[in-house]
A = this chain, B = another copy of it.
């Protein structure tokens, strides 16, 4: 059987190379074309020695392929994606360019006017667990941001069930690879090693994305979101806090059990979400596509405390993109994504 030919636009960022790594072990598709900007003309394995198993040259323009991942930065990605759709090529866009349904959010959060607002409604938001019905038939999937993936998966079950007041604090802790491969003082080793800081205190770009999705379950959630940068390469842990609605959950240990079962039910057939019984470690998802979720109750204060964690480059980016591709191509969802986390 002929394998589906897949291409990656802008393979040279961390999302791009992670796509290449994961596609290399995918049995049903073949990565046949990759593009880059400054690196065009070089062998992929010269720029990224860990990809030496892939015999590809970085090109300026994508070759003939059946399916495309765009790993371009926002604003640039839409420009690449639009013509592909016209040529009936299915696309998963890793950038934010098709995540927000309201075109007016783009100038506000991303500083550009969206070039194709009509596509925003067609694009399916690729948080696979929540959009499984729509992803298979989508032509264009907008792959979620890493923070929204962790936060929304942590909160969807309780918001949907009305267990919590929609007054939510999301405190996230991310490894540095989420900031990409472009150089900056904030990601210079000597600055970020042995350091932790909060950032984007005036509003991170992932906030409108989180709110948009939580609104599907509650009309006007109040969300305070503060991301933090940690001295590690991969990993994203989110601690979310919200008041429990009085009377919805039993007191004491019984309440914990009810809460756990609510999550277990919500995610019962999900191959990549695991509800766990103790506080999860990002290390236990290093390099694989799992999102671990641990819901708890602070009984003294009547607060829900949910912790989720994932690998920001896999479930938070390239892995989820392939999960979406699998559905779009009619393949089993887990194809090529079954490798365990690399521990320790």
Contacts and interface: CB of A to CB of B under 8 A. Distances in A.
A199 B279 contact: yes
Contact of A344 (B14, B196, B239): B14
Interface string A59-103: 000000000000000000000000000000000000000000000
A169 to B, nearest CB: 5
Contact of A232 (B52, B188, B231): B231
A274 to B, nearest CB: 6
Chain copies in the assembly? Answer: 4
A323 interface: no
Interface in A220-278: 222-224, 226, 228, 230-235, 237, 239, 241, 274, 276
Given A232-B231, A281-B196, A191 B344 contact: yes
A21 B301 contact: no
A107 interface: no
Nearest to A274: B52
Contact of A187 (B173, B190, B224): B190
A205 interface: no
Contacts of A24: 340
Closest 5 CB pairs of A and B: A195-B283, A50-B341, A190-B344, A183-B183, A171-B171
22 contacts: A14-B190, A14-B344, A17-B343, A50-B283, A50-B286, A171-B171, A171-B239, A176-B193, A183-B183, A183-B184, A187-B188, A188-B188, A189-B189, A189-B233, A191-B344, A194-B232, A196-B232, A196-B281, A198-B279, A201-B305, A231-B232, A342-B342
